[in-house]
Amino acid sequence: MIASKIKELKGTLAKDVTLVAVSKTKPNSALIEAYEEGQRDFGENKVQELCKKAAELPKDFRWHMVGHLQRNKVKYIAPFVHLIHGVDSQRLLNEINKQAAKNNRIQDVLLQLHIAEESSKFGFSFEEADAFLQQELPLEHVRIKGLMGMASFTEDKWQITQEFTQLATFFNKWKELKSFEVLSMGMSGDYPLAIEAGSNMIRVGSLIFGSRM
């Protein structure tokens, strides 16, 4: 089931779109099934679960931290995490820089933008991100590779498209100056709209692994 879902989904994606399989709450056996179909990018939203899986699974998994990250937990994933999607403050970025330095790594991260109407979601507003990027002093052990956002949880496709398009426009505005490469937007319910709007990294969980209880 999982293998065929991956295959089917990959078949519909352009080559420049990266699929991150969001495997939170799923057992290692499910991840291995995806791995055997060639999947290498996996997303988790809890540090403890991510670390446990990373310790138990093959070393060539690329781990994406897609959830909200607390500063005091950065140290646990700093030795190996591939991409941190949810950076939403200078203080978090400073801590990532510090921990990456300790591990002799340059950590790739994405800034999270708050594009949804729900206040429960995290991220910079466009105004805050503009200010941040204007005064950014590059950190030696962090590379901001691009942006991430989550659209509103709604059936209103027009609204979702609006939100993704706003983020894509913002991405394009800063892309050259900051050498941005990654625009992470789109989940199981809305990834076709995200790609249409310009996403090149989608984070898909339930469509691949089934619903989470």
Ligand X SMILES: *Cc1c(COP(=O)(O)O)cnc(C)c1O
Q: Which stretch binds ligand X (CB under 6 A): 101-109, 134-142, 157-165, 205-213?
A: 205-213
Helix axes 2-12, 28-36, angle to 10 degrees: 50
Q: Which of 39, 45, 107, 199 binds ligand X (CB under 6 A)?
A: 45
Contact between 201 and 18 (Cβ < 8 Å) = yes
Q: Does 39 bind ligand X (CB under 6 A)?
A: no
The token duo for 80 is 């190996």
Q: Does 203 bind ligand X (CB under 6 A)?
A: yes
Binding mask of the shown chain, residues 1 to 20, with x at each position contacting ligand X by CB under 6 A:
--------------------
Chain center to CA of 27: 20
Q: Does 70 bind ligand X (CB under 6 A)?
A: no
Q: Does 149 bind ligand X (CB under 6 A)?
A: no
Q: Does 81 bind ligand X (CB under 6 A)?
A: no
Q: Does 188 bind ligand X (CB under 6 A)?
A: yes
Closest residue to ligand X using C-beta atoms: 205
Q: Does 51 bind ligand X (CB under 6 A)?
A: no
Q: Which of 2, 9, 22, 129 binds ligand X (CB under 6 A)?
A: 22
Q: Does 182 bind ligand X (CB under 6 A)?
A: no
Q: Does 200 bind ligand X (CB under 6 A)?
A: no
Q: Which of 123, 146, 149, 205 binds ligand X (CB under 6 A)?
A: 205
198: left (phi over 0), alpha (psi -120 to 50) or beta: left
The token duo for 115 is 């594009």
Alpha-carbon distance of 162 to 15, in angstroms, equals 25
Sign of CA dihedral 170, 172, 173, 179: positive
CA atoms within 13 A on the CB side of 141: 15
Q: Does 67 bind ligand X (CB under 6 A)?
A: yes
Q: Which of 66, 100, 110, 193 binds ligand X (CB under 6 A)?
A: 66
Kindly state the smallest distance separating residue 104's Cβ from ligand X, in Å.
28
* Interior angle at CA 170, CA 208 and CA 190, nearest 5: 25
| CA-closest candidate to residue 18, choices 156, 183, 189 | 183
Which residue lies nearer to ligand X by CB, 45 or 139?
A: 45
Pure H helices in the chain: 2-12, 28-36, 47-56, 74-77, 90-102, 126-134, 157-178, 191-197, 206-209
Residues of this chain that interact with ligand X (CB under 6 A) are: 22, 24, 45, 66-67, 150, 187-189, 203-207
